[in-house]
Structure 1
Amino acid sequence: MSQLTPMRSQLIIASTEMLLISDASIPAVDAEFRYYTDDPLAVRLMLSIDQNPAVCWTFGRDLLLIGAQMPSGNGDVQVYPTHDGVIVELHAGDVVAKLLAFGPDLTEFLRRTTTAVPMGSEHLHYDIDAELRGLPLYDTLHEA
């Protein structure tokens, strides 16, 4: 039985501006892509306009990696390349926000994430047993 070697968690951040192309009247959107190596399958996208509180969207890193090259996603988050950059389309009920990301910023962020956690090695950076032990029902299920 293999055991996980504890690894130091690392946070990778890319701060950029995105254009809200679905509503040209809104100024540039401050965007921050975040990747935590101890949550290796997910990317967080923090969005804010002016000085308003940020809104966080969490989605799969693979969706973003694929979407930077070809259309990806069929749910609340869709990502696809264009000649101007990469579109990140966010769906919340009937509201759709289409944001244009600067391609080189996104590419560099993704390069840094795959350097820290290569594709296919995510399981080496995530301790599922520790996550399960942290669930409130874990103790109840294992008392019997």
Structure 2
Amino acid sequence: MISCVDHMLDMELASPLGERILVPTHLLYRSHDPLAVQLLFQDGSQDLVPWVFARDLLAAGVQTLSGDGDVQVWPAGSGPEALLHLLLSSPHGSARLTASLPAVERWLRCTYQLVPAARETEALDLDTHLAQLLDGAP
């Protein structure tokens, strides 16, 4: 059974000096964590820098400005050239990235085919998570 949906794409990072830097990005969704999406960014040393946030935030963000915390997402334009903007903030700084909106929407639709929104809580393995919490495991 398929348990994840992943996709590779290049995002553009806007540097403080106005440069556009391509950042290879792995979009990852796993059915055992049905409420979250992961973006894994490759840095210059080939290490992966993960960002995990709510799938419903991304789903809302492909339509309109969403998020008011460390992740903000919004669309720009229409058609095949439309862009998705992401503003990621941490105590160490922030990054503004853009990606192909149609590519992200296609991937997002696949995540909902794997685990529909109405079935997200059914896919959660709450017993395992609770047992780990009570046993002190990470």
TM-score under structure 2 length normalisation: 0.87
Aligned to 1:90: 88
**What is aligned with 1:99?**
97
Which protein is bigger by CA-based radius of gyration?
1
* Alignment RMSD (CA, Å): 1.8
SS of equivalent residue, structure 2 residue 5: strand
Provide runs of 4+ in structure 1 moved above 2 Å. 21-27, 49-52
Structure 1 position 48 matched with structure 2 position 39: no
Cα pair 1:40 1:126 within 8 Å, conserved: yes
Q: CA deviation at 1:104?
A: 1.3
Q: 1:58 and 1:37 mapped to 2: Cα distance? A: 14
| Partners of 1:27 and 1:70 in 2: CA distance | 25
Q: Report the TM-score when normalising by structure 1.
A: 0.83
How far apart, in 1, do the equivalents of 2:34 and 2:122 lie? 9
**Deviation by residue 1:1-56 (Cα, 9 ceiling, x = unmatched):** xxxxxxx5611101100011244435201111100011000001001144431100
User: Which of 14, 24, 32 is the matching residue for 1:30?
Assistant: 24
From 109, 126, 144, give the equivalent of 2:124.
126
Judging by fraction of residues, say which structure has more helix. 2
2:5 to 5, 12, 21: 12
More strand by share: 2
Query: Which stretch of structure 1 is more off in the superposition, 17-26 or 64-73?
Result: 17-26
Of 53, 56, 64, the match for 1:62: 56
Please, which moves more after superposition, 15-24 or 100-109?
Answer: 15-24
Q: Return 5+ residue gaps in structure 2 as ranges.
A: none
CA contact (8 A) 1:9 1:36 kept: no
